[in-house]
Amino acid sequence: MKSNFKQIAGMTILSAVLVSPSFATDVNFHGFIRSFYDTSSSTAKYIGLIDDNGSWGGTQAGLNYSTKINSQLSIAGQLHYNVGEGELNLDWGFATFSPNNSSKIQFGKQKYPLGLITESIDVGISYPWVRPPQEMYHLELSDESPNFALESYDGLSAIYTTGDDWEFIVQPFIGQYNYKESSTTTIRKMSGLKLELSSEILTLQAGLSSSKLTIAGGPTDQTRKTVNIGAKVEIDNFLSYIEFIDVEVDNSDTFDSNAGYVTFAYTFDSLQPSITFAQLEGQKTAGAATGSLDQKSTAVALAYTFNPSTVFKMQWKNIKPDDPTTGGLIGALPAGETSADIFSFTMDVVF
């Protein structure tokens, strides 16, 4: 908590300044609450949180605001509290300068743009899963993580948007990511590009990035390159996602990895069942038959929409690591176990 005091204090002061009449006339506040309960068939912890004891540790809440300083400059930010971590953090806080209707420049701690879900990962009502597939969207950076997706980064980006029925977005960005003040895990000298084409029924995205990665006990200041592609299809009541990402780390083959998933969902009035197949490969050491991250999973979820701002979800996910004795997203399984079943329930509320 102490490590975030300066961020939180700064955010509080900035909020007070922004709501003063001399700086802004309209401040919009929104928030969310995600109440989780997870349990597992195994004693091996999944994502460092879930085992057979059950856990409410995934529960989290956020409060975000946005305000326009003038016709070209706006500011937005979000405070986030996670029960499992027991910390209040500044998720993001950035300014947007809009010189015209088609161009924006963003600077500060902003949302990471690559991936179909990253910019809305906190808004649980916007997707069919309890959690987006962890094979690609596990946000922890460590030596037991694929290191694909980030929630935010400190830096600068330019966004150019054009089109009508088909909207085309070009977003180059530069910056860095520090996992925690107490950690040596960093992503520095990051640069990347997002290309996105979307219509009412189809979203296509491709992206790439390059950075310098340092992980305690792993690569030190090595070039990390990622390439991702994805598509979202929404036709009437049918919804589908498909994504794939690949990461390579120079001189650290152990940290090369890739992941992908496909989801199919269909909405019946207030009910939306879905099924997801996902695969993760990575951290294969010399002479090993499989990587320590290698796993396949199948997830079946059911979402019930009470109203546009409240959704209840339940999900069963079967995780099958290629080598049950190694620890990846799920820890080493006890002798005789080859897979684990994760049962999750969540209530998502936005306001």
Residue 119, helix vs strand vs coil:
helix
pLDDT beneath 70: ranges in the chain:
1-25, 139-147, 179-184
* Beta carbons within 10 angstroms of residue 73's beta carbon: 13
Residue 134, helix vs strand vs coil:
helix
90 strand-pairing partners: 79
- Span 34-88, pLDDT tens digits: 999 999 999 999 988 899 999 998 899 999 989 988 889 999 999 988 877 777 8
Judge contact between 306 and 341, C-beta under 8 A.
Answer: no
Judge contact between 242 and 219, C-beta under 8 A.
Answer: no
Query: Domain 2-350 adopts which CATH fold?
Result: Porin (2.40.160)
Measured at the alpha carbon of residue 189, what is the angle toward residues 256 and 117, in degrees to the nearest 5?
60
The pTM (predicted TM-score) of the whole model is 0.89
Q: What average pLDDT is seen over the chain? A: 87
Write the CB contacts of 134 (distance below 8 Å, at least 6 apart in sequence).
Answer: 47, 329
- Span 34-43, pLDDT tens digits: 999 999 999 9
Q: Extract the tokens encoding 128.
A: 């069919």
Q: Extract the tokens encoding 139.
A: 């946000």
